[in-house]
Copies of this chain bind each other. A is one copy, B any other.
Amino acid sequence: MHPIITAFESSPDRGQGLARDMRVRWALEEVEQPYDVRLVSFRAMKEPAHRALHPFGQIPTYEEDGLVLFESGAIVLHVAQRHAGLLPEEPDARARAIAWMFAALNTVEQPILELQVAKFQEGDKPWSAERLPLIKDRIRARLGELSVRLGDADWLDGTFSAGDLMMVHTLQRLKPSGMLDDYPDLAAYVARGEARPAYQRAFAAQLAVFTGQRPS
């Protein structure tokens, strides 16, 4: 039995890889763990059967031998802890890589999600245009700090880790805004992540949900 994850039956991004199942797919591809996918509709996500797996009615979820997990960060960490390839073996380096996962989700993603909320949930409000620069300033503050820390390195702390996986995917959510263009080093960092064969396989698999064509 392979682990089963859930993903949008009809993702808002139409397979651009911005939905959070992408993080889990990518992690599973990095450790070469085959998996199955169950697609859920927006309506089904809010019904009791799915909420039994995910109390907040979202995707992705993860089921494996009776274990049920939700939250992309928790699932990626679980995969990374059970398989080699996404976290350093050395305990201190391992703890630092996990810290970058939390930094991606709780510090860098926070203002990026604010931008998405402003666009999709408050885009029609009278304050929308005037408020946007404030949010973008908060995002730029984080991007500047991240850029300084990354410096000339390929990855945030030594070799590629689950911390980079989460950070790259978090930054990808800025692509529609064009904001990454002002940070060529971060854009190159994201591109390095996207160039990984495991990323490519995961991207093809989630895109195939929309094209109806199985990835080659």
Q: Give chain A's interface residues, CB within 8 Å of chain B.
A: 51, 55-58, 66-75, 77-78, 92, 95-96, 98-99, 101-103, 105-107, 109-110, 113-114, 117, 121-122, 125-127, 130-131, 134, 138, 142, 145-146, 148-149
Contact = CB atoms under 8 A, between A and B. Distances in A.
Contacts of A57: 145
- One complex includes copies of this chain to the number of 2
Nearest to A65: B92
A95 B71 CA distance: 11
Main secondary structure of the interface of A (DSSP, over half): helix
Contact of A74 (B67, B70, B102): B102
A75 B117 CA distance: 29
Nearest to A98: B74
Contacts of A125: 127, 130-131
Nearest to A146: B55
B106 A71 contact: yes
27 contacts: A55-B103, A55-B149, A56-B142, A56-B145, A58-B107, A70-B103, A71-B102, A71-B103, A71-B107, A73-B102, A73-B106, A74-B95, A74-B98, A74-B103, A77-B98, A77-B102, A105-B105, A105-B106, A110-B113, A114-B117, A121-B134, A121-B138, A125-B127, A125-B131, A126-B127, A127-B127, A127-B131
Contacts of A72: 102
Contacts of A126: 127
B92 A66 contact: yes
